[in-house]
Amino acid sequence: MDLRIDETAAQWQRRARAFTETMLYPVEETLELQGALPPETLARLRRAVVEAGLNAINHRIEDGGKGLSQLEQVVVNEEVGRATGALWAVLWHPPLPLRYGTPRQRADYLQPSCRGERRAAYAITEPDAGSDPSRVRTRADFARGKFVLSGEKWFVTTGDQADYLLVHAHVDADPGKPTLFIVDKDLPGVRVTRVPKFMHTYVYEHPEFVFDRVELESWRVLGDVGQGLELTKEWFVEARLQIAANCLGAAIRAAQIAERWSNERVQFGRAIREFQAIEFMLADMAVEIMAHKTLLYRVAWEIDQGLDRKLVHARASAVKLFGSEMAGRVIDKALQILGGRGYMRENPVERLYRDIRVDRIWEGTSEIQRAIIGGQIRKRGMETYTGWV
């Protein structure tokens, strides 16, 4: 059994690592201290993404993407996940459901998004609907040949940068008709009500939107009426694997910083890594990272081999659950090893500590992942997770 990544994946890994170290690391402290990057810096980063060939790695070449395999995407997202301030978000990944768009939708939205000329944001969460999408209250009523969209969406990540949204709504207020709509932000009735501030520093914002009787032509339906939940689930799988890869990169960077510090820091006449308390923390960190990397790479490889879609959903939950919680444990230990220096905002580990906490919440909380895993075990048996295909 050959478990090595091939040379193509290794080349993508090296390319993403070089981009992270030369383009993202240098702007981390500016983002942290100023709370945002200057427009000229963001424009420079967008150009650099294209020059590095890292734009739309999740989409087909014929749509303007790079056509990377799932494993290749993982190694790229792992490398950019090392950057603080969620700077990995400067690499755009147009939502996967757009690949199912009509020729018009792909030409007008997906293909320009792959090139970096447009940007989408996914709008699903609401004040009373998070883990349970059936509670979505945003509705689209069909009347006189058009849909009329009304509702409110929270936590629309990159909504400040996007020029259009994929809005998850219920047609005629029927939870049995969840549907995705392509909604341009400049349409009458679309407005931002608030831009909340969060625990982490993030390169983009998470605005709250209101849709006040927004008129939408029928061609703006993505997929079919009632297909929205299935398309959103596919997006969740993509997002969960990306989060898991970002978490891996963040944990590796924190562990490396802590390990270097443990060699440099001398107390009581010797480097602190020589104390068993520190050595054991480093050992635990290494094992957790190794376990997650093995799991993540395996599932990505299985997807590339044509793993059944239901198993993809099941295993993506396991990867996201373990990766997000692993990163929290590893980075916490790294901060402890660094002591007071680890608590300074100028230290990448302090920033990663805040950055990584949201990964146990968004795109499905840890509790939701456990519910999915438990349900899969009931339906398909423990071998869903303990077997090897």
> Could you report the per-residue pLDDT of 60-109, keeping only the tens digit for each?
999 999 999 999 999 999 999 999 999 999 999 999 999 999 999 999 99
Which residue is associated with the tokens 């792992």? 78
The structural domain count of the chain equals 3
Q: Are residues 140 and 261 in the same domain?
A: no
pLDDT at 131 (0 to 100): 85
Which residue is associated with the tokens 């520190």? 278
Decide which of 208, 225, 242 is a domain's last residue. Answer: 225
Q: What stretches of 265-320 adopt beta strand conformation (E)?
A: 266-267, 270-271
What's the predicted TM-score (pTM) here? 0.96
213 in helix, strand or coil?
strand
Q: Are residues 240 and 380 in the same domain?
A: yes
Q: Are residues 240 and 370 in the same domain?
A: yes
Decide which of 225, 248, 283 is a domain's last residue. Answer: 225
Q: Are residues 215 and 197 in the same domain?
A: yes
Q: How far is 164 from 118, CA to CA, in rounded Å?
A: 8
123 in helix, strand or coil?
strand
Q: In Å, what is the CA distance from 17 to each residue of 78, 84, 249, 267?
A: 9, 14, 10, 34
pLDDT at 132 (0 to 100): 86
Beta-carbon contacts of residue 354 (< 8 Å; ≥ 6 apart): 199, 200, 201
- Ranges in the chain, pLDDT < 70: 1, 389
Within a domain: 1:
no
Q: How far is 192 from 186, CA to CA, in rounded Å?
A: 11
Please, what is the end-to-end C-alpha distance for the chain in angstroms? Answer: 13
Q: Are residues 219 and 102 in the same domain?
A: no
Q: Are residues 165 and 252 in the same domain?
A: no
Its domain, for residue 199, covers 120-225
Q: Are residues 253 and 381 in the same domain?
A: yes
Q: Which two tokens stand for residue 354?
A: 């805040």
pLDDT at 1 (0 to 100): 64
CATH number at residue 210: 2.40.110.10
Q: Are residues 237 and 323 in the same domain?
A: yes
pLDDT at 130 (0 to 100): 85
